[in-house]
């Protein structure tokens, strides 16, 4: 997760976390790329069949995984652009449906192609990328959010990842962590980040009730922010992008997938 530090602070965030990759640095400086979920708990085996760990070819998941992602088609994974921008497709592989990075559960797949939206490295707008796999995997893909009401303030959302579990970005678990957070009021969150966010492209979420905090953290980048729709279907609402200087101090910022549904459909169709 990238990290920035906003000039304002906010209190009273309410939610529960799942996976982490976030942080922040002064709004005038470039975000620093950082890699579980702070305040989360161990995810039950098989509870996130569509989540993927992205790693480097030649390394095990335990040693080489550095970002998360979500399977949205049998051959396509969506993740954060800042995770894969400096890699070639042949350098990457994904571990699908794995709960423990040390286990052999799930599937592995090499990456055939990387498609990146117009990512802005300075402010992390358009922080989204698609990875086309060399072949299909059998894990179930996750549906995308199609209703803007799923982003209403205080709507509970879930996060997950293998990122750091302490506010300072330390303590990387082998076991997938998950947590519950709340969708933040956009205007209040945008103020924290010096009015640098775009409502149709980014969404904020976090949890802080004064006693416990839930947030994504270093290493959770690219992983999922999900909501459950009115029919009980879990849908991908966001992609872990960046957050505060210390995990949990500010709401996490996620790429708002609804703003990219057309780009995703177009990219997959033209492949």
Cross-strand pairs, 51: 70
Residues contacting 148, CB < 8 A, separation 6+: 258
Structural domain range at position 191:
2-43+143-258
- State how far the Cα of 200 lies from the Cα of 211, in Å rounded to an integer: 32
At 30 the pLDDT is: 33
Residues 112 and 234 occupy one common structural domain: no
Residues 30 and 150 occupy one common structural domain: yes
DSSP for residue 78: E
> Catalytic residues, which ones?
82, 127, 221
At 56 the pLDDT is: 95
Residues 124 and 208 occupy one common structural domain: no
Strand locations in 17-87 (E): 24-26, 37-38, 41-42, 51-56, 65-73, 76-79
Tokens read off for 101: 């990075």
Residues 127 and 194 occupy one common structural domain: no
Residues 103 and 14 occupy one common structural domain: no
At 170 the pLDDT is: 67
At 1 the pLDDT is: 64
At 164 the pLDDT is: 87
Query: Is 99 in contact with 176 (CB distance < 8 Å)?
Result: yes
pLDDT along the chain (271 residues), means of 10: 43 33 34 53 94 94 92 98 97 94 92 96 94 98 97 97 80 88 97 95 92 88 96 97 91 98 97 82
The number of folded domains in the chain is 2
Q: 101-119: string of b/e by CB count within 10 Å (b at 16+)?
A: beeeebbbbebeebbbbeb
Residues 149 and 121 occupy one common structural domain: no
- State how far the Cα of 113 lies from the Cα of 132, in Å rounded to an integer: 5
Helix (H) or strand (E) holding 207: strand 202-208
pTM given for the model? 0.86
Residues 149 and 16 occupy one common structural domain: yes
Residues 134 and 56 occupy one common structural domain: yes
What is the CATH classification number for the domain harbouring 265? 2.40.10.10
Residues 154 and 233 occupy one common structural domain: yes
Tokens read off for 168: 């300072």
Helix (H) or strand (E) holding 192: helix 186-192
Residues contacting 214, CB < 8 A, separation 6+: 15, 16, 17, 18, 37, 38, 39, 40, 159, 179, 180, 181, 206, 207, 208, 248
DSSP for residue 266: H
At 175 the pLDDT is: 92
Over 171-191, what HEC string results? Answer: CCCCECEEEEEEECCHHHHHH
- State how far the Cα of 172 lies from the Cα of 72, in Å rounded to an integer: 26
At 8 the pLDDT is: 34
Residues 113 and 91 occupy one common structural domain: yes
Tokens 């997760």 belong to 1
Residues 181 and 250 occupy one common structural domain: yes
Residues 132 and 148 occupy one common structural domain: no
Residues contacting 115, CB < 8 A, separation 6+: 129, 130, 131, 132, 267
């Amino acid at each position: 997760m990238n990290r920035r530090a906003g000039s304002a602070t906010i209190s009273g965030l309410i939610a529960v976390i799942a996976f982490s990759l976030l942080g922040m640095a002064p709004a005038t400086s470039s975000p620093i790329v950082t890699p579980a979920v702070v305040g989360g708990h161990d995810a039950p085996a098989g509870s996130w069949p569509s989540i993927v760990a992205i790693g480097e070819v030649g390394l095990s998941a335990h040693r080489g995984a550095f970002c998360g992602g979500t399977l949205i088609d049998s051959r396509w994974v969506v993740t954060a652009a800042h995770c894969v921008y400096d890699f070639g497709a042949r350098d990457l592989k994904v571990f699908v449906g794995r709960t423990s990075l040390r286990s052999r559960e799930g599937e592995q797949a090499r990456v055939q192609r990387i498609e990146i939206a117009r990512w802005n490295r300075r402010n992390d707008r358009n922080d989204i990328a698609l990875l086309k796999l060399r072949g299909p995997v059998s894990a179930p893909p996750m549906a995308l959010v199609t209703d803007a009401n799923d982003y209403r303030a205080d709507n509970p959302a879930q996060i997950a990842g293998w990122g750091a579990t302490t506010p300072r970005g330390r303590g990387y678990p082998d076991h997938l962590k998950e947590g519950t957070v709340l969708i933040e009021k956009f205007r209040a969150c945008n103020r924290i980040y010096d009015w640098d966010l775009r409502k149709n492209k980014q969404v904020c979420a976090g949890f802080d009730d004064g006693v416990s905090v839930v947030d994504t953290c270093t290493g959770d980048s690219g992983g999922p922010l999900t909501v459950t729709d009115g029919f009980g279907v879990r849908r991908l609402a966001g992609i872990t992008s960046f957050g505060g200087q210390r995990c949990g101090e500010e709401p996490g910022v996620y790429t708002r997938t609804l703003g990219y549904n057309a780009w995703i459909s177009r990219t997959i169709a033209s492949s």
